[in-house]
Each structure stands twice: as structure tokens, then as C-alpha cells.
Amino acid sequence: MLKDITLGQYFPGDTVVHRLDPRTKILLVVVYIVALFQAEGWIGYALVTLVTLLCTALSRIRLRSMFKGVRPMLFIIALTALLNIFYTTGTPIRPGWIVTWEGLARAVQMMLRIVLLISGTFLLTYTTSPIALTDGLELLLNPLKKLRVPVHEMTIMMSMALRFIPTLISETDKIMSAQKARGADFETGSLTRRAKALLPILVPLFVSAFKRADELAVAMESRCYHGGEGRTRMKQLRMERRDCIALILGGIFLALMIALKSLCL
């Protein structure tokens, strides 16, 4: 059951989207999010949806995998929609009702906005290996090193965390089985009871995670790790022509969205 978590999951592939430099993809996601929040009116939303679908098609990621990423957020999406339906003033659907046409439209748009936001960012993690992602992030944030921001340390921590997710998940499974074998009950009872039942899992998990961290640090040191200074990379990132094209297209998209917004206002 714990294996279904899609956090930071990567689907290997060899499409244009996969081959783009991670830096390009990170920048494009930022552009995408900014553009998404410029969306005003149905044309704007339709355009963003179209672009999202196009990118998904290019990356050959199945729509079902996309929805899997959205599923954990369904509650928040539904809540946002409900709030928007009831708290937007305008012309009521029927005289006397609280629900307005504007509210309905807003609710749909808000839902769309959240789904698109999640899909866009998931497209990045689905098509970029965690290593490439952290490498790209480190290079992009490199200028911040001048401001004494520990960029290298942050990105190596991130990649370690990603590396240990599967290990810790399988460990959690193991501990859970061990506790179940001794009669622990995780499935029934009130919410507080179930939360309390998790304690015997969390304690051993934390203890072993700290032990792992300790051993990992020693292993890293004995492989000559001494911070980011003087470090080289086996896989050099290089910006290609396709990256330039992608960035230009991203820029055009953003400009289009901003223009559309000012037209609507």
C-alpha cells in the first residue's frame, strides 16, 4: 500500500520532454505557473489546458498517471469549489438561491487551476530523474552561493532524501508487518486511536533513520566527500538548441497569457 506513493516518481523515457535540460524544464515550470495565474476567462484556461495536454502528449506520459498525482488533492479541490460556489456574489441561478452563475464559473475555473498546477509540476518530476533535477536546481541557484546560501548542501540533502524514500518505505512496511504479527491494530478505532497506533511504527523508524544517516555520513566521508568545493560531475549538463526553442516557446506562451489578461480587463 505504501508503494503507491507517487512523490517524486520518475518515468524513464526518451522523448523530447525527457531530453530537455533539467534547467530548461525547471524554468519552464516556473513560467508555466506564472502563466497559469494570468489566466482570466475561458479562453485563457482553454489555452493553458491545451498547452498542458500538448506537453503531456509529447512526453508520452499517460493521462492516468497524471490523475494519480491529482487524486490526493481531491479533497482540497472539492473544498475550494464548494467555497467558491457559495461565496461568490452575482446573479443567482434561480431567484432567491445563494448559488450564482458567477460562483459556478469560478468554481470550475478554480478546480481547473489547481488540477493544471499539479499536472504541470508533476510533468517535471515524471520526466526528469531526481539526480538531474537536483543537479539542474544546483546550477540554477549557483549565483545564490555568492550570498552565502548553502546551495550545494541543500541540493545534496534533497537528492539523499529522494534516494532514501524507497528504503524507508520498505522499512516502514517491515516494521508494520512486525507490529501486526504481534497483534497491533492499525485499521480500526477512532482517528486518535489509529494515530496513537502509529507511534510504535514511528519510533523504530526514526531510530533506524538516524542510524542510517550516521552510517551514510561515514561512508560518504570515506569516499572523500568534503562538500561542494572542487567537485566535478560525470554527467555534464549542456544546453542544446531544443532548450533554446523550448524557452522561446515558453516566453511566447507567457506573453500571450499576459496579453490575453490585459485584453479581458
With contacts defined by CB under 8 A, name the span among 24-32, 75-83, 129-137, 195-203 that binds other proteins. 129-137
Cα pseudo-dihedral 148, 151, 156, 159, rounded to 10: 150
Say how far apart CA 246 and CA 18 lie, in whole Å.
12
- CA dihedral for 31, 34, 38, 43, sign (positive or negative): positive
Give yes or no for residue 226 binding other proteins (CB under 8 A).
yes
Which grid cell sits at 162?
A: 529522494
Nearer to other proteins, 94 or 235 (CB): 235
Contact 58, 15 (CB under 8 A): yes
From residue 70, how far is each of 35, 63, 114 by CA, in Å?
20, 11, 9
Give yes or no for residue 14 binding other proteins (CB under 8 A).
no
Give yes or no for residue 199 binding other proteins (CB under 8 A).
no
With contacts defined by CB under 8 A, name the span among 60-68, 85-93, 109-117, 222-230 that binds other proteins. 222-230
Give yes or no for residue 235 binding other proteins (CB under 8 A).
yes
Say how far apart CA 82 and CA 47 lie, in whole Å.
25
Give yes or no for residue 153 binding other proteins (CB under 8 A).
no
For 100, the 3-state DSSP assignment is strand
Give yes or no for residue 238 binding other proteins (CB under 8 A).
no
Nearer to other proteins, 157 or 259 (CB): 157
With contacts defined by CB under 8 A, name the span among 29-37, 79-87, 88-96, 215-223 that binds other proteins. 215-223
117-145 burial, b if ≥16 CB within 10 A, otherwise e?
A: bbbbebbbbbbbebebbbbbbbbbeeeee
With contacts defined by CB under 8 A, name the span among 44-52, 90-98, 155-163, 177-185 that binds other proteins. 155-163
Say how far apart CA 182 and CA 171 lie, in whole Å.
17
Query: In whole angstroms, how close is the CB of 228 to other proteins at the nearest point?
Result: 10
What's the DSSP call for residue 94? S
Query: In whole angstroms, how close is the CB of 61 to other proteins at the nearest point?
Result: 19
Give yes or no for residue 121 binding other proteins (CB under 8 A).
no
Give yes or no for residue 233 binding other proteins (CB under 8 A).
yes
- CA dihedral for 57, 63, 68, 73, sign (positive or negative): positive
Give yes or no for residue 130 binding other proteins (CB under 8 A).
yes
What's the DSSP call for residue 73? G
Give yes or no for residue 159 binding other proteins (CB under 8 A).
yes
Of 221, 240, 245, 258, the one binding other proteins by CB under 8 A: 221
Of 91, 188, 232, 262, the one binding other proteins by CB under 8 A: 232
Binding residues for other proteins, per CB under 8 A?
A: 129-131, 159-160, 162-163, 166-167, 170, 212, 215-216, 218-226, 230-236
